[in-house]
Amino acid sequence: LQSLCFYVIAASRRDSEFSTEAGLKYFILGAFSSGILLFGCSMIYGLTGVTDFEELAKIFAGYEITLFSAQSSGLFLGILFIAVGFSL
């Protein structure tokens, strides 16, 4: 909800094409990054079954990531999606 205010502010000058373009690009980038972040969260929840950070830390502390395991690849992709979602 906080980002919606910034989208409106970016596109506030109605007579400027640059302002409209900036607002639309900002909205699309925000929707895209939110979708990637939520997909990463859902992958981690789907593979571990927990949402508590303490439980996730316990799981990841004793977890060995191998390249050939489907579950470890999914967890790695989930963490990667979350990092990309935060960085966008």
CA angle 27/51/2 to nearest 5° reads 25
pLDDT, tens digit, 9 for 90 and up, residues 8-24? 888 888 888 899 899 89
Burial 65-77 (b: 16+ CB within 10 A, else e): eeeeeeeeeebee
Helices 17-48 and 53-61, packing angle to 10 deg: 60
Burial (CB count <10 Å: 0-12, 13-18, 19+), residue 78: buried
| pTM for the predicted model, two decimal places | 0.78
pLDDT at 6: 85
- Residue 67 in this model has a pLDDT that exceeds 60: no
